[in-house]
Amino acid sequence: MTDELYFKYQPRYYHGEISSYEALLRSHIDDFNVEAFVYSIKCSASFDLNIILKVLQERKSLHICDDVSISLNISIASLLDDNFMSQCLEIFENEKNITLELTNHDQTNDFHGLNSSILRLKNKGVKFALDDYGKDYLNTDDFLYLDVDYIKLDRKLIRNINTNYITYSVLKAKYNHIINVLGKIVIIEGIETFEQFNLVKEFGDMLYQGFYFSKPIDITEIRQIKKREFPQVNNKKQFSLNLDEAIFDLNRTQKPKDIQQAIDNIKEIDKYNIIGLTPNTFDLHSERQRINQNYREIIKNKTRSHFLLASSLVCGSDGAVIIRDKEGNAIFNNEHFVNYIGIDLVDVSVEEACEQITDYRTCLNIDNELLLGDSCFMMSDEVIETKNGSELVHIYRQKVSHFDQYFIICSVYEATDTIIVDELTTCYQKNYLYSTYMNQYKILVFIDLDGFKDINDSFGHYVGDEVLRDFSLTIKNMLRDEDVIIRFGGDEFVILLNSHVIKNVHQRIEQLRQNIEWYFNRKETQLSFSYGVASLQDGVELALKAADEAMYKQKFLRKQ
């Protein structure tokens, strides 16, 4: 009977181009049911091995055989046959670009043995697909958790999606579960009309095939496939699936010891305590009931327009939004943030983030100031590193609590004011003094460097520039995060403080001057500064005049 069988090859597409071909068994006998014949075979392992060898032999007839990816069906039970496995391991030592699609799901329940065989062949480069998902097999869902690369949806799931919303929604739900929960790639077969394709292509990434694109072709019609990047398989189990399984374990246990173990497991999975666990160890049954109530509320809210709106507001905000926990770990950043900063910080350690982003540690210090303070809100203007270099931004921080855990929500907006950062010193330029940001400062300090002219005259402007840059970076590190330093011009600087007591400011600046002198003495450079302090109560112009006069008076006295 096998002599009457031959192969046709169904093109499979990804983003409008052929990505592979599926080998389909056909018969020269009219009205012969190939599927029923294959299902009736008692020794599937021997038959499947013969099919594999014949397909590979046909592929060898192509001068482009190495570039042609072929999928073919085997019974899932064949993977439990020792002879089949040993020969396949030998065959696929050299033969590549093969995907085995697993059929006849109701022939075994040995998931451990199946997965072991799958992993052994995957180590040889073989890919796997679970074929016929949704085809009335009683235990197909159990096979979803095997280490296969693709889940192929049966054509009956596609048949009426363009005329029946219920059918369409079932298909979409299955697609979302496979992609977002299982982290596997979907193959949709049986697409026969434009309407069907137009509906499914909006789901997202997938491979697809059907008569709408091409009927099965002969081996001689196969053409070279353009190499493309395919969607990556996410082998990491999703949080939602882990949590759902943990809730399942909680509800199937009755003994207090087992209930406590299940709650501890939820605690380990749900590190941010989304579910709202409490330290209640006295009435475990009440605690279980409360956990289930919280879980139902979460699931219910996910389907409400209010929840979807809130999620959309954060994800689609014009501002770059990042949410950090109290340790500084980014637990969320929206797409605008990733595009603006140039890096996705979720799952990136704090240390790595600080290495990659200049002044990121300063951002965390300001977070900590809000966490430790009584206020729940803070606005600051900061210079951060973006894809386009250093930029001035407005950052709005909000402290929020969730079951006794605190988080900081940061919204970052590009400053529309024409504030310019000095390229040499990275300090703000003097137009900062005439911006709306001045409202948050109380005291102005005018600084003029002492000894800088001698350095410039003796060693030249290049060394002078290096000293200016060194001075500005050093004094910025000595200031508080909320203080601002401005390069007023040449070797003159202005420091803005939100302090109220001028006497305290004098003490701080005196200490700064000592630290600066000590720092440059270690470098065998004589550099210091004279300064004047003034209140901003009567405006920036009067403050500048008063501080400038006080600075020159001090400089004269220091020279004496």
Residue 157: CATH number of its domain: 3.20.20.450
Tell me, yes or no, whether 539 lies in a domain.
yes
- Kindly tell me the burial class for residue 353, based on how many C-beta atoms sit within 10 Å of its own C-beta (0-12, 13-18, 19 or more): buried
Are 384 and 464 part of one and the same domain? no
Are 409 and 320 part of one and the same domain? yes
CATH number at residue 516: 3.30.70.270
Selection from 15, 17, 16, 20 nearest residue 222 by Cα: 20
Beta bridge partners of 22: 10, 71
Per the CB < 8 A criterion, the answer to whether 295 and 275 are in contact is: yes
Tell me, yes or no, whether 76 lies in a domain.
yes
Position 214 scores a pLDDT of 92
Number of domains present in the structure of the chain: 4
Are 374 and 441 part of one and the same domain? no
**284-302 helix and 239-251 helix, angle to the nearest 10 degrees:** 140
Tell me, yes or no, whether 21 lies in a domain.
yes
CA dihedral 236, 157, 72, 34 (to 10 degrees): 150
Position 2 scores a pLDDT of 59
Are 494 and 536 part of one and the same domain? yes
Residue type (1 letter), 121: L
Are 309 and 244 part of one and the same domain? no
Query: How far separated are the first and last CA of the chain, in Å rounded?
Result: 114
Tell me, yes or no, whether 473 lies in a domain.
yes
DSSP-derived secondary structure letter, 17 = E
Per-residue pLDDT of the chain (560 residues; tens, 9 = 90+): 456 789 999 999 998 889 999 999 998 888 888 888 888 888 889 999 999 999 999 998 887 766 789 999 999 999 999 999 999 999 999 999 999 999 887 777 888 999 999 999 999 999 999 998 887 666 677 788 889 999 999 888 898 898 899 889 889 988 988 887 788 899 999 999 999 999 998 898 899 999 999 999 999 898 877 766 665 655 556 677 788 889 989 998 888 899 999 999 999 999 888 888 888 777 888 889 989 999 888 887 777 787 778 888 878 777 889 999 999 999 999 988 998 888 899 989 999 999 888 778 888 999 998 999 888 988 877 777 777 777 777 888 999 998 888 999 999 887 665 567 888 888 988 888 888 778 889 999 999 999 999 998 888 888 999 999 999 999 998 998 888 999 999 999 999 998 878 888 999 999 999 999 999 999 899 999 999 999 999 899 999 999 999 999 999 998 87
Position 48 scores a pLDDT of 93
Position 242 scores a pLDDT of 84
pTM more than 0.85? no
Q: Which domain holds residue 285?
A: 239-300
Tell me, yes or no, whether 136 lies in a domain.
yes
Are 194 and 214 part of one and the same domain? yes
- Domain termination residue (choose one: 221, 250, 280): 221
Are 360 and 439 part of one and the same domain? no
CA angle 538, 540, 545 (to 5 degrees): 90
**Any alpha helices (H) in 64-110, and if so which ranges?**
82-91
Are 377 and 475 part of one and the same domain? no
Are 207 and 278 part of one and the same domain? no
Are 486 and 385 part of one and the same domain? no
Per the CB < 8 A criterion, the answer to whether 35 and 65 are in contact is: no
Tell me, yes or no, whether 226 lies in a domain.
no
Per the CB < 8 A criterion, the answer to whether 496 and 476 are in contact is: no
Are 199 and 146 part of one and the same domain? yes
Position 181 scores a pLDDT of 75
Are 357 and 251 part of one and the same domain? no
Backbone torsions φ then ψ of 545, nearest 5 degrees: -65, -45
Per the CB < 8 A criterion, the answer to whether 422 and 490 are in contact is: no
- Domain termination residue (choose one: 276, 300, 324): 300
- Domain termination residue (choose one: 155, 188, 221): 221
Tokens representing 417?
Answer: 């004011």
DSSP-derived secondary structure letter, 217 = B
Tell me, yes or no, whether 420 lies in a domain.
no
Q: How many C-beta atoms lie closer than 10 Å to residue 107's C-beta?
A: 16
Position 122 scores a pLDDT of 95
Tell me, yes or no, whether 233 lies in a domain.
no
